[in-house]
Every structure is written in structure tokens, then in C-alpha cells.
């Protein structure tokens, strides 16, 4: 017999009503809404793991994302997204270097870098190492492809050279020599039957035979030249392939060592996101700090529409008469700024961002809350944490930039200079992200041209040098992008030092 469950609101203890169309629980008393995931996260996690095991990666990805909506730091869900990106059912599956072609390590490295910015600080090293593993595997795949590309290009050039030589000789023999000899024989027979001298037809026939001999000699000479070119190319290709094999062997020796380091960083099961969440992490708990004396004349502005909130003393919620959103009174009392700072310091950036927003609803000019909300959006704990790393996330930088623009509308005049400098820092980070994409593209094009040049090395001067010209252009571009990267990193460092100097008294600066 099925058991009918009822759920109560953590804000006002009212019985929740389930909206089956939108799949959320709605409190008819205070207006608070709870996701289905809030009460069934274990079941959803179990389904996600089952889909991952069955290699249904798209479905598993959706389930893990459902978990992360309410618990953005869940270790197992973040690891699940990385495995879905890699198209692997487990971390152990990534160990087999002979099955690399079945996985997408490039996407896995990006996903691991993103996970590193969301996971709690004690688990960040795990995803950093996982990203390193994915990048190493991706490098092995790239080098293997380069070796195949060089060998394949060499074979194509070999066949092309031989076919061109055969084609030239074939054209001469079929289109010139045979018709010419037929004409000579016809003249010989005609002259002979009419009683004329056959000296000229005979001379013409002998000349044709001599021309054939010259053509055969030239063809043999060209064949020898092609063989020489092929031998030179093959020697160069063989040398390059041996060098590539050494690189692959070095990386394959390093690869299992990375997994050994990863296993040491793997958290215990009770630390991986299965433990019961605290009230500060979930917001679905009846405990609160509402015992603190509430100042009823406090003015609070709605974070959704900007209208003023009205306090309902009976339901103990602040309700917006404009958009209908309601907030529990506990969100604005019992040191909300301290709770936000603690959440951010522990790596719970989404939770911290929401708590900073609640502080700003009370005081939109609060410097610490404004700066904290910007840093949380960018997934940093303080200004000194802003740096160029493997996981420079363009999406997070854009979110932080949007919060800076919002801050400029509300801050005090005395803080304007600080946030202008912070805007410059965000702009530099955006430029670094663009520079990184351009540099990666140029490097990939360079490797492709380099593979063709390696297959052509040692050829005679008449060889097409378009690849040589292209690689010189790419080398120049790569050099320019690297110089630009150095300049941007220096600018970022200078702007950060200026920010620290402007407000060294802030806990979010150093």
C-alpha cells in the first residue's frame, strides 16, 4: 500500500501543495516555493548514477544538473557531469590508454575545470587533478593523431609522385607514339605499293623508335628521382615518428601516476555529498534565528522588482505586494553578512551569492555585500584569488561583470573608484579568455601544418612551399598572442594590487 507523504514549509510550517505541472511544492500561506529535488535528491542521484552506469549520458547529465540546482557543491553530481562529458561510466574506465578514442577528454577537462570552481574548497584539488588527467589524455590522443597524419601524408605523396610519372609516360606512349608509328607504317605501305622510295617512311619510323627510347630513359630517370625523394621523406617521417613515440611513452608512463595521486585525493563516501545538509546549505529546515528581536520599521527592498517589502507579523515573512514574492524574516536577521562570508569562505558560492543579495535588500550600498556578491558570481573567495588559471571560466567572468554594473547603480560615491577598478579587472579577464581561445586555435593550425611539413622534409626545391609560408605566419601569430597574454597578465596583477591598496581594510580583499 502506497504511503501518502505530506511536506511542511520550513519558513512558516504550513502544509505544502504540490504543483504537478511545474513539479514544485508551493506554500499557500507564505508563498515560498520548493523544488521536487529538495525532498527527493537521494532518489534523483540514484537514477543519475544508474543512467551513467548504462551509458545514457544525456539523461544522467540532466539528473545531475537537477541535483546541482539546490546543491551546487555536490561532489558526486559534479563528478557525474565530468564523466558524462568524458562519455565514461566511471573514473576507472578512463585508465585504459588503448580505449582513448571512445572518450571526449577535451570536454571532460573543461567540465572538471568548471567543477573545481563550484565544489567546496577541500575537494578542489581532486577536480584540479582530474582536469590534469583529462588534458594529459587529450595530449596523448593529439600526438597519436599527428603520427598517423604524417604517415598517411607520406603515403599519399608517394603514390601521387608515382602516378604522375606513369601518367606522363602513358600520355606520350598512347597519344603520340602509337598514332605516329601507325602513320609511319601507313606511309611505308603506300609508298611501297606505288613503287616509290620508302626511305623517308623508314627514317620517320626510326626517329619514332629513338624518341620512345629517350622517353623511356627520362621516365626511368624521373622514377629514380621520385624514389630518392620518397626515401628522403620516409627517413624524415621515420625520425619524426620515433620522436613522437618517445613523447607518447613518456606521457603514458606519467598517466597512471596521475591516477595514483587522484585516488589519494578522493573523499570518503560520507564527504562526497551524501551527508544530510545543514539548514544553512538547504534552507529546508524549521530551525531559524527568528528569536532575535525584529525591528519592524526596517525598510527592505525586493530583490526581484525593487518594490518595498511589507512585514507580515503573523506569518513572519516579508511579502512583496508588487510581484508576490515572500521572504522569511530569518533571512535578514541573525548576522546574515557573517553567514554569507562563511559560506563563501567554504566554497559555497551560490549560497553566498544569495545571502549577499538578502543583505543588499536591506542596505543596497553595503560595500562588503556588493563586493561579496561580485566575487561569489565569479567563484572567488577574495580579490587576491582572482587569477589566470586552467579554469578561467568566461561565463563566471560575465556574471561577475554584470554584478559590477549593478553595483555601480547603488554604491556610495566614496566607493565608486574601487568598483571602477574592479570593472577594469573583469575587462582584463574577458580579454584573457578571448586571447586563450585565439592562442589555442593558432596552435592547432600550427600542428596541422607542421605535420605536413614533416612529411615533406628533404624534398627538392620545386616542392610547394605554401605550408612553409603558412607555418611562418602561424608562428608569428602564436608569438603575438603569447606576448599579449603576458601583457594582460601583468595588467591583471597591477589592477589587483591597486584594488588591495584602495581597501586593504576589507576582509574580502586579501
Q: How far apart are CA 273 and CA 67, in angstroms?
A: 10
Q: How far apart are CA 318 and CA 309, in angstroms?
A: 6
b/e sequence 142-179, b meaning 16+ C-beta within 10 Å: ebbebbebbbebbeebbeebeeebeeebeebeeeebee
Among 236, 271, 306, which residue terminates a domain?
A: 271
Together in a domain, 108 and 202: no
Nearest C-alpha neighbor of 79 from the set 270, 255, 267, 260: 267
Among 222, 255, 288, which residue terminates a domain?
A: 255
Together in a domain, 376 and 444: yes
Single pTM value for the model:
0.51
Phi, psi of 419 (to 5 degrees): -75, -25
Together in a domain, 131 and 170: no
Together in a domain, 126 and 159: no
pLDDT above 70 as % of the chain:
66
Measured CA to CA in angstroms, residue 358 lies from 110, 215, 370, 398 at distances of 32, 90, 11, 22
Together in a domain, 493 and 373: yes
The pLDDT of residue 11 is 59
Reading the block at residue 204, the C-alpha cell is 620517320
The pLDDT of residue 106 is 85
- Domain CATH for 88: 1.25.40
Together in a domain, 438 and 396: yes
Q: How far apart are CA 91 and CA 126, in angstroms?
A: 12
CA-based angle 39:22:360, to the nearest 5? Answer: 75
173 in any annotated domain:
yes
Could you say which DSSP state residue 298 is in? -
Together in a domain, 65 and 157: no
The pLDDT of residue 333 is 62
**Cell 567563484, residue located:** 379
Together in a domain, 93 and 207: no
Query: What residue numbers bound the domain in which 240 lies?
Result: 145-255
Domain count, the chain: 3
Together in a domain, 173 and 61: no
Q: How far apart are CA 190 and CA 53, in angstroms?
A: 88
278 in any annotated domain:
no
CB-based contact 280:338 (threshold 8 Å): no
174 in any annotated domain:
yes
Together in a domain, 110 and 182: no
In this predicted model, what pLDDT tens digit does every residue of 298-311 receive, in sequence order?
677 777 677 777 77
Q: How far apart are CA 56 and CA 456, in angstroms?
A: 45
- Please measure the distance between the N-terminal and C-terminal CA atoms of the chain and give it in whole angstroms: 59
236 in any annotated domain:
yes
Helices of type H across 457-465: none
In this predicted model, what pLDDT tens digit does every residue of 353-383 receive, in sequence order?
888 888 888 888 899 999 999 998 888 888 8
Together in a domain, 153 and 133: no
Pairing of strands 317-320, 326-328: antiparallel
The pLDDT of residue 227 is 65
- The dihedral over CA atoms of 167, 168, 170, 173, expressed in degrees to the nearest 10, equals 170
What is the length of the chain?
A: 510
Listed in sequence order, the residues at least 6 apart from 251 whose beta carbon sits closer than 8 Å to its beta carbon are: 136, 139, 140, 143
345 in any annotated domain:
no
233 in any annotated domain:
yes
Together in a domain, 494 and 371: yes
317 in any annotated domain:
no
Low-confidence ranges of the chain (pLDDT < 50): 1-4, 21-22, 159-163, 165, 273-294, 458-463
1 in any annotated domain:
no
Phi, psi of 297 (to 5 degrees): -90, 10
Among 271, 300, 325, which residue terminates a domain?
A: 271
Amino acid at each position: 500500500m502506497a504511503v501518502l507523504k505530506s511536506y511542511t514549509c520550513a519558513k512558516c510550517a504550513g502544509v505544502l501543495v504540490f504543483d504537478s505541472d511545474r513539479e514544485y511544492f508551493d506554500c499557500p500561506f507564505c508563498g515560498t516555493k520548493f523544488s521536487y529535488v529538495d525532498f527527493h535528491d537521494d532518489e534523483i542521484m540514484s537514477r543519475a548514477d544508474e543512467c551513467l552506469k548504462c551509458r545514457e549520458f544525456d539523461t544522467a547529465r540532466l539528473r545531475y544538473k537537477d541535483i546541482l540546482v539546490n546543491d551546487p557543491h555536490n561532489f558526486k553530481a559534479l563528478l557525474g557531469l565530468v564523466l558524462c562529458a568524458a562519455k565514461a561510466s566511471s573514473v576507472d574506465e578512463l585508465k585504459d590508454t588503448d580505449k582513448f578514442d571512445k572518450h571526449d577528454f577535451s570536454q571532460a577537462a573543461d567540465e572538471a575545470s568548471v567543477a573545481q570552481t563550484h565544489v567546496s574548497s577541500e575537494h578542489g584539488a581532486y577536480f584540479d587533478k582530474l582536469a590534469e588527467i583529462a588534458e594529459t589524455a587529450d595530449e596523448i590522443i593529439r600526438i597519436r593523431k599527428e603520427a598517423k597524419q604524417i604517415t598517411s601524408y607520406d603515403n599519399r605523396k608517394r603514390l601521387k609522385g608515382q602516378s604522375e610519372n606513369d601518367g606522363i609516360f602513358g600520355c606520350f606512349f598512347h597519344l603520340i607514339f602509337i598514332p605516329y608509328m601507325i602513320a609511319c607504317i601507313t606511309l611505308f605501305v603506300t609508298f611501297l605499293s606505288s613503287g616509290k622510295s620508302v626511305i623517308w617512311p623508314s627514317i620517320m619510323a626510326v626517329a619514332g623508335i629513338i624518341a620512345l627510347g629517350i622517353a623511356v630513359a627520362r621516365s626511368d630517370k624521373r622514377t629514380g628521382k621520385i624514389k630518392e625523394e620518397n626515401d628522403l621523406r620516409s627517413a624524415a617521417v621515420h625520425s619524426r615518428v620515433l620522436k613522437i613515440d618517445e613523447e607518447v611513452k613518456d606521457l603514458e608512463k606519467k598517466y597512471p601516476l596521475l591516477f595514483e595521486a587522484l585516488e589519494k585525493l578522493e573523499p570518503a563516501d560520507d564527504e562526497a555529498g551524501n551527508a544530510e545538509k545543514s539548514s544553512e546549505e538547504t534552507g529546508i529546515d524549521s530551525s531559524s534565528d527568528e528569536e532575535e528581536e525584529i525591528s519592524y520599521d526596517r525598510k527592505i527592498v525586493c530583490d526581484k522588482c525593487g518594490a518595498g517589502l511589507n512585514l507580515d507579523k503573523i506569518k513572519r515573512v516579508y511579502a512583496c505586494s508588487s510581484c508576490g514574492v515572500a521572504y522569511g524574516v530569518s533571512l535578514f536577521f541573525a548576522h546574515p553578512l557573517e553567514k554569507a562570508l562563511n559560506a563563501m569562505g567554504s566554497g559555497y558560492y551560490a549560497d553566498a551569492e544569495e545571502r549577499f543579495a538578502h543583505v543588499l535588500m536591506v542596505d543596497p550600498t553595503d560595500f562588503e555585500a556588493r563586493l561579496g556578491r561580485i566575487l561569489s558570481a565569479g567563484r572567488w573567495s577574495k580579490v587576491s584569488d582572482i587569477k589566470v588559471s586552467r579554469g578561467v571560466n568566461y561565463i563566471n567572468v560575465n556574471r561577475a561583470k554584470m554584478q559590477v554594473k549593478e553595483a555601480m547603480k547603488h554604491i556610495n560615491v566614496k566607493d565608486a573608484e574601487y568598483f571602477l577598478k574592479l570593472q577594469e579587472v573583469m575587462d582584463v579577464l574577458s580579454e584573457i579568455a578571448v586571447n586563450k581561445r585565439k592562442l589555442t586555435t593558432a596552435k592547432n593550425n600550427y600542428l596541422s601544418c607542421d605535420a605536413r611539413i614533416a612529411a615533406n622534409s628533404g624534398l627538392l626545391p620545386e616542392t610547394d612551399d605554401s605550408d612553409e609560408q603558412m607555418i611562418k605566419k602561424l608562428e608569428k601569430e602564436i608569438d603575438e598572442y603569447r606576448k599579449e597574454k603576458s601583457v594582460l597578465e601583468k595588467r591583471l596583477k597591477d589592477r589587483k594590487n591597486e584594488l588591495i591598496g584602495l581597501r586593504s581594510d576589507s576582509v574580502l580583499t586579501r
